[in-house]
């Protein structure tokens, strides 16, 4: 894993006396929001270069939110009265120890003169879990590195029952965890502060993974599409699911009639309006294609008894145009060259499917549900 940086040093503060009085008057009670985060490196983005495919691990953020008053938000310390920064960090540390059931009673001292960001390279990483704070909407958001917090305690990375992890996509686009909303303050604090939601990987802002729900396509001849029935996997079924499939992980592929074996994901649960907690996954969508089913489109346009010759006259231009677009987007050719011989519609379709087989992410419909199919299990991870 190459080096990455989260929060440049100049962005976080460790000195309350530098806060403008119009932002937060000193010597007054205020609310502390503990923005507790982990940096994950367990999924990859699929890259294409010179007709070859390779995998690159990309870091992404996972934030710990606490359920309060029917919404998820940052854990807070209410009505805090500032004394010194050292006392403030000690109080925050004791609050974190209480939340996570840790045993150490005092924090490691940290300098109040040098703000710390999270930097990680193959040689070194920041050792302090308390990085500093920034101001959002006249309140303090204090950054806490969970990975560094629990290292001295040799604790497993398990969250208390009141907390759930959330990735950046859930603050910016989804704005909820399952069916429970994320507070407006938490969403805005992450969304409106670019450094709070961005990891710089080799000097470039890393892409955000997308939140999806894993799904299984079961065989069902009664399905209108004759493709099967989609079912999401429940968090409560994860161990049973492992035993039944004899898998170490919680994922299995499904057989699609055109694209073959794929890991399937849905943007929202297939069954809406329930409180069931389905497994959430962070997914990198690499070189995504939205597959236009030209054959079904043609079937809708032409009567069933239309001759094969007329059908091919209408179908071939559609497929040829689609192949041109795929070629250009993949960068496989600079311009489309017509074939040496006149191809049939079936040959064009086979060429199209072969092209799509080189793409790691494909979007399509199953019984009206938008489905994302991923080819590689390194593209996603449960969080």
Structure token pair of residue 317: 């231009």
Considering only CA atoms, which of 273, 227, 280 is closest in space to residue 250? 280
Three-state DSSP at 229 gives strand
In whole angstroms, give the CA distance from residue 141 to residue 284: 28
Structure token pair of residue 57: 């691990």
Give me the mean pLDDT over the 88-96 stretch. 87
pLDDT at 20 over 60: yes
Question: Which range is least confidently modeled, 195-204, 247-256, 359-368?
Answer: 247-256
Q: In the chain, where are the structural domains located?
A: 4-205, 210-287+360-382, 294-356
Render the burial of 163-176: b for 16+ CB within 10 Å, e for the rest. Answer: bbbbbbbbbeebbe
pLDDT at 123: 38
| Bigger pLDDT: 148 vs 189 | 189
pLDDT band at 6 (very low <50, low <70, confident <90, very high): very high
Pair 345, 302: CB distance under 8 Å: no
**Helix 294-301 crosses helix 308-330 at what angle (to 10 degrees)?**
150
For residue 374, what are the CA distances in angstroms to 41, 45, 248, 371? 18, 11, 19, 10
pLDDT at 222: 56
In whole angstroms, give the CA distance from residue 311 to residue 345: 9
The rounded Cα 131 to chain-centroid distance in angstroms is: 24
pLDDT at 128: 75
pLDDT at 212: 95
Pair 73, 183: CB distance under 8 Å: yes
Count of other CB atoms within 10 angstroms of residue 327: 16
Which of the given ranges, 50-54, 145-149, 248-252, 310-314, has the highest pLDDT on average? 145-149
Give me the mean pLDDT over the 355-361 stretch. 76
pLDDT band at 177 (very low <50, low <70, confident <90, very high): very high
Residue spans of beta strands (DSSP E) within 59-188: 60-68, 71-73, 76-81, 118-120, 130-136, 139-145, 163-167, 176-177, 180-181
| Bigger pLDDT: 50 vs 90 | 90
Q: Please state the pTM of the whole predicted model.
A: 0.79
Burial class for 56, CB neighbours closer than 10 Å (0-12, 13-18, 19+): middle
């Amino acid at each position: 894993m190459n080096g990455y940086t989260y929060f440049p040093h100049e962005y976080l503060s460790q000195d309350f006396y530098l806060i403008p009085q119009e932002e937060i008057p000193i010597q007054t009670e205020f609310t502390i929001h503990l923005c507790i985060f982990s940096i994950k490196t367990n999924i990859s983005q699929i890259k294409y270069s010179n007709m070859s495919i390779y995998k690159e691990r990309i870091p992404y953020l996972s934030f710990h939110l606490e359920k309060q008053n029917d919404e998820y938000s940052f854990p807070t310390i209410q009505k805090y009265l500032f004394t010194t920064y050292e006392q403030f960090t000690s109080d925050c540390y004791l609050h974190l120890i209480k939340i996570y059931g840790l045993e150490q009673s005092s924090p490691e001292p940290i300098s109040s003169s040098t703000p710390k960001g999270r930097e990680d390279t193959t040689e070194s990483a920041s050792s302090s879990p308390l990085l500093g704070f920034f101001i959002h909407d006249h309140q303090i958001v204090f950054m806490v590195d969970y990975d560094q917090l629990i290292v001295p305690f040799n604790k497993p990375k398990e969250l208390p029952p009141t907390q759930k992890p959330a990735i950046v996509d859930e603050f910016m686009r989804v704005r909820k965890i399952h069916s429970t909303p994320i507070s407006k303050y938490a969403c805005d604090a992450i969304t409106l502060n670019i450094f709070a939601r961005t990891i710089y990987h080799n000097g470039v802002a890393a892409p955000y993974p997308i939140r999806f729900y894993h799904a299984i396509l079961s065989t069902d001849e009664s399905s209108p599409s004759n493709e099967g029935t989609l079912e999401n996997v429940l968090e409560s079924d994860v161990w049973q699911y492992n035993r039944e499939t004899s898998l170490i992980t919680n994922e299995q592929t499904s057989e699609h009639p055109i694209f073959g074996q794929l890991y399937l994901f849905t943007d929202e649960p297939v069954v809406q309006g329930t409180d069931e907690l389905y497994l959430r996954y962070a997914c990198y969508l690499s070189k995504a294609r939205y597959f236009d089913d030209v054959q079904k489109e043609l079937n809708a346009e032409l009567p069933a008894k239309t001759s094969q010759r007329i059908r091919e006259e209408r179908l071939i231009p559609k497929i040829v145009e689609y192949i041109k677009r795929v070629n250009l987007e993949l960068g496989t050719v600079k311009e489309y060259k017509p074939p040496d011989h006149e191809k049939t519609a079936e040959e064009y379709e086979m060429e199209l499917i072969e092209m799509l087989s080189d793409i790691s992410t494909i979007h399509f419909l199953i019984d009206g549900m938008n489905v994302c199919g991923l080819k590689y299990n390194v593209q996603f991870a449960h969080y």
